[in-house]
């Protein structure tokens, strides 16, 4: 990544992701928020089941579409975080300063993915 594309994950919040449908094999584009914590990029969301997460489990490679400060389509790989201790550490960083009142539910049920750019 170069220039503005390299800087965008530090300031932007909203992206699109394109995953491969686990049943259909077709591309599935979804708007989502992401967070930058210490230079590491994470995708998470409210507790619950997400089709995009199931798609990433089946096929971890996806496209990370920057669309705020710069437009770029970046190939990426998902690392789904399932270890409870790691989930706690990461979510503490991501949720610091928010009005979240149910941290334990986030640890137990929220999607949590670290993005690796290819």
pLDDT per residue as tens digits for the range 37-56: 988 999 998 888 999 999 99
Give the count of domains, the chain: 1
Q: What band does 1 get if pLDDT is binned at 50, 70 and 90?
A: low
- Mean pLDDT (whole number) for 3-24: 91
Q: What band does 7 get if pLDDT is binned at 50, 70 and 90?
A: confident
Name the pTM for this structure: 0.91
CATH of the domain at 74: 2.30.110.10
Q: What pLDDT does residue 85 have?
A: 96
> What pLDDT, in 10s, does the model give residues 64-77?
999 999 999 999 99
> What pLDDT, in 10s, does the model give residues 79-110?
999 999 999 999 999 988 777 678 899 899 99
Residue 14 confidence (pLDDT) above 90? yes
HEC sequence for the chain: CCHHHHHHHHHCCEEEEEEECCCCCCEEEEEEEEEEECCEEEEECCCCCCHHHHHHHHCCEEEEEECCCCCEEEEEEEEECCCHHHHHHHHHHHHCCCCCCCHHHHHHHCCEEEEEEC
Residue 97: give the domain boundaries.
Answer: 3-117
- Mean pLDDT (whole number) for 23-40: 94
């Amino acid at each position: 990544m170069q220039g503005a594309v390299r800087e965008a994950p530090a300031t932007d919040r909203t992206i699109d992701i394109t995953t491969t449908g686990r049943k259909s094999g077709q591309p599935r584009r979804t708007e989502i928020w992401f967070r930058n914590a210490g230079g590491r990029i994470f995708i998470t969301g409210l507790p619950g089941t997400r089709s995009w997460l199931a798609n990433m489990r089946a096929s971890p490679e996806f496209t990370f579409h920057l669309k705020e400060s710069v437009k770029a389509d970046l190939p990426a790989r998902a690392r789904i975080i399932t270890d409870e201790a790691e989930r706690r550490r990461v979510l503490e960083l991501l949720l610091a300063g928010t009005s979240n009142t149910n941290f334990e539910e986030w640890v137990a049920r929220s999607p949590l993915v670290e993005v690796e750019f290819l």
